[in-house]
């Protein structure tokens, strides 16, 4: 008869442990807990750790607050009416202090209900202000991504952190893409020719400057050669010369061959 109290105690312990398992919830890193007691949500989110709840009375929902990634593809018109296929990546996270409010007001998946509709609408509105050629360039794609990020922050910034927006790929009709590629190629050729022309102009300016310098130098030298300078130069040359034959200018500017004097001296001897 004494075995029954032991069985009953064991059963009570078992049920207590079983109930405790259902009463304990663990909120992990990168999550917050939202408590619902008899249909009423507690506005204060639960942080990381153990949270207790009463079965059938209290429920604890866990909301992921880590950064998440979604990809969206939208077919949107350009400013000239051409259809452009745009692939966009969004990196976002739920703000921890807004999890309870979001859980109360947003049905189904937070991403599909709160974020994706604004992403699609933002892409359509922003891209429609650009030509297909502009959307195709890397610079404008970065500009569009920045505008979309700003647009999303204005729409869902109270509830979500928009970490980054990326335009992964822009797909145009083949004929349009070929025409843009040809135009870009022609533009690059033209820019290269303009660069070569500028270099040629600089080279010409350098050569002209050199020629002007040489001409000015020649003028200075020409103006400095006077009759007195030439006479001094002639005398200086005679003093430093060992030559046996000397040409001496006369008043008529005709040279006198000094060798004749040596010949006359030889005859006289």
Using alpha carbons only, how large is the chain's radius of gyration in Å? 48
Q: Which residue has the higher pLDDT, 30 or 180?
A: 30
Mean pLDDT value of segment 42-53: 82
Asked if the model's pLDDT at residue 30 lies above 60, the reply is yes
> Could you tell me which residues come within 8 angstroms of residue 22 by beta carbon, excluding any fewer than 6 positions away?
55
pTM of the model: 0.59
Class of domain 68-172: alpha beta
**Residues 122-165: pLDDT tens digits?**
999 998 888 887 887 888 888 999 999 999 999 999 999 999 99
In the chain, where the domains are located = 3-64, 68-172, 182-224, 228-268
User: Which pLDDT band holds residue 259 (cuts at 50, 70, 90)?
Assistant: very low
Q: Which helix (H) or strand (E) holds 251?
A: none
């Amino acid at each position: 008869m004494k075995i029954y109290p032991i069985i009953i105690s064991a059963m009570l312990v078992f049920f207590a442990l079983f109930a405790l398992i259902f009463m304990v919830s663990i909120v992990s890193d990168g999550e917050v807990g939202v408590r619902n007691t008899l249909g009423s949500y507690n506005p204060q989110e639960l942080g990381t750790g153990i949270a207790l709840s009463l079965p059938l009375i209290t429920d604890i929902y866990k909301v992921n607050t880590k950064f998440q990634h979604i990809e969206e593809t939208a077919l949107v018109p350009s400013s000239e009416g051409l259809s452009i296929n745009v692939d966009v990546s969004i990196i976002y996270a739920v703000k921890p202090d807004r999890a309870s409010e979001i859980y109360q007001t947003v049905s189904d998946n937070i991403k599909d209900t709160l974020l994706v509709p604004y992403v699609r609408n933002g892409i359509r509105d922003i891209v429609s202000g650009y030509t297909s050629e502009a959307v195709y360039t890397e610079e404008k794609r970065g500009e569009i991504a920045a505008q979309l990020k700003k647009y999303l922050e204005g729409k869902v910034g109270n509830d979500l952190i928009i970490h980054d927006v990326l335009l992964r790929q822009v797909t145009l009709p083949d004929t349009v893409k070929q025409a843009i590629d040809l135009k870009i190629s022609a533009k690059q050729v033209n820019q290269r020719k303009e660069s070569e022309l500028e270099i040629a102009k600089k080279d010409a300016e350098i050569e002209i400057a050199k020629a002007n310098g040489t001409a000015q130098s020649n003028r200075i030298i020409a103006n400095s050669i006077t009759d007195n300078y030439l006479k001094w130069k002639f005398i200086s040359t005679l003093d430093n010369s060992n030559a046996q034959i000397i040409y001496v200018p006369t008043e008529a500017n005709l040279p006198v061959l000094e060798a004749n004097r040596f010949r006359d001296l030889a005859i006289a001897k």
